[in-house]
Amino acid sequence: MSPIVRSATEPVEPTLGVGRISKSESEQADFVVVANRLPVQHSVSQGNDEWRPSPGGLVSALTAVLQNHDGLWIGWLGGSEHGEPPMDYEGIRLRAVAISPEEYADFYLGFSNATLWPLYHDAIRAPTFHRHWWHTYQDINMRYASAAAESVAEGGTVWIHDYQLQLVPNMLRTLRPDVRIGFFLHIPFPPSELFMQLPWRKEILTGLLGADLIGFQVPHMASNFSRIARRLLGATGTDSVLTYAGRTIRIGAFPITVDTAQITSLAADPKIRERAREIRRDLGNPEVVLLGVDRLDYTKGIQQRIRAINELYADGTLSGGTHVMVQVAVPSRESDAHYDLERHNLEQVVSEMNGDHGLVGSPVIHYLHQNLPFEELLALYLAADVMLVTPFRDGMNLVAKEYVACRTELTGKLVLSEFAGAASELRGAFMVNPHDLDGIKEAVCLALKAGPKEAKARMSRMRRKTMRRDVFDWAQSFLAALQQGNASRPSAGAESPDPST
Ligand code: G6P
């Protein structure tokens, strides 16, 4: 990739429905990121409206790559009613894709989050199939593809992200056969038994196969995809290289990770360390702090985990005052009925637990339905003795990696679902089957009993793996594979899951 932004020889007409075009309509970028959301979000601070970077390692990682390549990011503002975003953010040009309220209902809440999301997460909730949702998904994907086609310079590179945009690779290839196209799926790719339910399964596969490189979180998701593409579309090849429609498509595993340097340095910040001590004091200086931090999503297994902890209080393994749990549930997709119900049921379980086992001034679970600043999350990670990450299915789960990255003193224990992508790497965790309530209880008991020596050995093992590469390496490895056509090897980060660990 060259770091040059070229001028198109002819002005580019904006496509109907695509939002304001940044800076100059005649400028095209050598490197374009296409994701459902833009990397900025609106917030109000001390009465002032501001646009801030969206939280998360993905934004930091891609920001750095885009800055180095004078790149451009195409995405949606996320239903913000606060007007136009800045035209650029820290040197990256932004291009907003407009989505109307009706399209939001059909594309975002509908096909993306009520069809694909549950289907790709083990059908934990029954996926819903509606033809009009599918039609809107096609229209919106075409809108992103058109925006990318207009924005990328000749011979440039486009990196498309996630399940909301699976048709974009092939649409873009049709519009711009000259560009190099990468696609990364952040969530699991399901086994064929589930994927086959999708009425538009061939169209989704064809959409993805428009890319030159398709990245997944772990190797078995990559093979799920390759196998189904061979079976349904007659693609030929192996789990890592397919031939389809006369083209070669590479498939690989690129486990995403966190900004380890940023987390390590924040974890050493005296203010954050003091805040961690303050949190423990505010919790009543218990012997053990248990912590869960999740987006409030039915895939995360939050209720099941709290039920298990509740039973441990009921049977006397845990006791109020000595053991305290904190559960942060970050608000998410609140206009969806499944999420609304999940919140309702979760809050019921939380209040039952406090009702049954709490004391005046000393609840056994502290529940925060809030979007906390990253520094506050880090203070919570530092304050926690046992971190519980028990999703029913998760592409990776970066909370688990953040916890490990900030435990620089090799203390702290992680209870981790074997169905999180992170389980392939974090083999020092206490592994659980999140559907097995007794299994969760056993793992928590084992974690509580483990002495400092065992805890240190486990945390060292997890940190060796986690600190070896960061989110910048992740982005670089994907882009290097995309440029060099070298995605056939699974990434060095992945190990086979070993639930018995
Ligand atoms: C997951 C998905 C992302 C998505 C995020 C938040 O991590 O992989 O694509 O952006 O959840 O969900 P939301 O619907 O708020 O964008």
Residue 24's pLDDT is what?
46
Instruction: Check whether 5 has a pLDDT greater than 60.
Output: no
Contacts of 151 (CB under 8 A, 6+ apart): 28, 29, 32, 72, 74, 95
The residue among 414, 410, 385 whose CA lies nearest residue 399 is: 414
What are the pLDDT digits (tens) for 260-303? 999 999 999 999 999 999 999 999 999 999 999 999 999 999 99
Q: Among 114-128, 200-214, 471-485, which is the least confidently predicted range?
A: 471-485
Q: What is the percent of the chain with per-residue pLDDT over 90, rounded to a whole number?
A: 81
Distance CA 108, CA 36 (A): 9
- 159 forms beta bridges with 33, 182
* Token digits of residue 165: 């945009």
Residue nearest to atom 6 of ligand 1 (CA): 332
For the chain, give the mean pLDDT: 90
Residues 6 or more apart in contact with residue 240 via CB below 8 angstroms: 222, 226, 250, 251, 252, 487, 488, 489, 490
Residue linked to tokens 């006369």: 246
Which of 36, 42, 394 best tests ligand 1's pocket when mutated (most atoms within 8 Å of CB)?
Answer: 36
Question: Rounded to the nearest whole angstrom, what is the distance from the C-alpha of residue 449 to the centroid of ligand 1?
Answer: 36
Task: Note the pLDDT of residue 150.
Answer: 97
In DSSP terms, which residues pair with 181 in a beta bridge? 158
| Alpha helix positions (H), 152-217 | 168-175, 192-195, 201-208
Residue 267, phi then psi, degrees to nearest 5:
-70, -20
- Distance (Å) from CA 356 to ligand 1 centroid: 35
Nearest to 36 by CA among 129, 133, 103, 132: 103
Alpha-carbon span 88 to 75, nearest angstrom: 13
Q: Six-digit token pair at 107?
A: 């594309």
Contact predicate 114/338, CB 8 Å? yes
Whether residue 162 has its Cβ less than 6 Å from ligand 1: yes
Least confident of 82-96, 166-180, 266-280, 484-498: 484-498
478 near 467, Cβ under 8 Å? no
Closest CA to 222 of 190, 248, 245: 190
* Residue 389 pLDDT grade (very low, low, confident, very high; cuts 50, 70, 90): very high
Whole-number pLDDT of residue 50: 78
Looking at the CA of residue 35, tell me the nearest atom of ligand 1.
9
Q: Give the pLDDT of residue 80.
A: 63
Summarize the confidence of residues 462-475 as an average pLDDT: 96
Which helix (DSSP H) or strand (DSSP E) does residue 60 occupy? helix 57-68
Q: Using pLDDT thresholds of 50, 70 and 90, give the confidence band for residue 500.
A: very low
- Between these two residues, 429 and 70, which has the higher pLDDT value? 429
**Residue 482: how many CB atoms within 10 A of its CB?**
25
Q: Which residue has the tokens 């940023």?
A: 262
CB atoms < 10 A from the CB of 79, how many?
A: 11
Give, for ligand 1, the residue of 332, 339, 394 to mutate: max count of ligand atoms closer than 8 Å to Cβ.
332
CA–CA distance, 357 with 192 (Å, rounded to integer) = 44
Measured CA distances, 224 to 89, 188, 191, 229 (Å):
37, 10, 5, 9
Pocket probe mutation, ligand 1, options 189, 295, 297, max atoms within 8 Å of Cβ? 295
- d(CA 62, CA 81) in angstroms, rounded, equals 25
**What is the arithmetic mean of pLDDT over 324-335?**
95
- pLDDT tens column, 40-51: 887 776 677 778
Quote the ligand 1 centre to 77 CA distance (angstroms). 13
Under the banding of pLDDT at 50, 70 and 90, the label for residue 17 is: very low
Contact indicator for 281, 324 with CB cutoff of 8 Å: no
Name the nearest CA neighbour of 94 among 163, 165, 38, 31.
Answer: 38
Tokens 């989110």, located at residue: 471
Please give the number of the atom of ligand 1 that sits closest to the Cα of 164: 9
Distances in Å between the Cα of 30 and the Cα atoms of 39, 151, 159, 243 are 19, 9, 11, 26
Distance 486 CA to ligand 1 centre (A): 28
Q: Is 55 touching ligand 1 by the criterion CB < 6 Å?
A: no
C-alpha 226/C-alpha 240 separation (Å) is 7
| 415-460 pLDDT per residue, tens | 999 999 999 999 999 999 999 999 999 999 999 999 999 999 999 9
Q: Is 186 in the pocket of ligand 1 (CB under 6 A)?
A: yes
- As a whole number of Å, the CA-based R_g of the chain is 23
- 295-329 confidence digits (pLDDT tens): 999 999 999 999 999 999 999 999 999 999 999 99
332 in contact with ligand 1, CB cutoff 6 A: yes
Q: Report d(CA 426, CA 389) in Å as an integer.
A: 12
Structural fold of domain 25-257+471-487: Rossmann fold (3.40.50)
Nearest of 283, 273, 282, 360 to residue 324 by alpha carbon: 283
How many residues comprise the chain?
501
Nearest ligand 1 atom to the CA of 112 is 14
Q: Is CATH 3.20.20.60 correct for 260-466?
A: no
- The Å distance, Cα 296 to ligand 1 centre, comes to 11
Domain range summary for the chain, segments of one domain joined by +:
25-257+471-487, 260-466
Q: Is 37 in the pocket of ligand 1 (CB under 6 A)?
A: yes
Distance 432 CA to ligand 1 centre (A): 24
Per-residue pLDDT for 479 more than 50?
Answer: yes
**Is residue 198 within 8 Å of residue 119, measured between CB atoms?**
yes
For ligand 1, the distance from its centroid to the CA atom of residue 107, given in whole angstroms, is 14
Cα 199 from Cα 281, distance rounded (Å):
54
- Is residue 78 in contact with ligand 1, taking CB distance under 6 Å? no
How far does the centroid of ligand 1 lie from the alpha carbon of residue 187, in Å? 9
The pLDDT of residue 354: 97
Q: How many beta carbons lie within 10 A of that of residue 283, not counting itself? A: 17
What pLDDT is recorded for position 26?
A: 56
Q: Could you tell me the distance, in angstroms and rounded to a whole number, from the CA of residue 3 to the centre of ligand 1?
A: 29
* Environment class of 435 (CB within 10 Å of its CB; exposed 0-12, middle 13-18, buried 19+): middle
Check if 338 has its Cβ closer than 6 Å to any atom of ligand 1: no
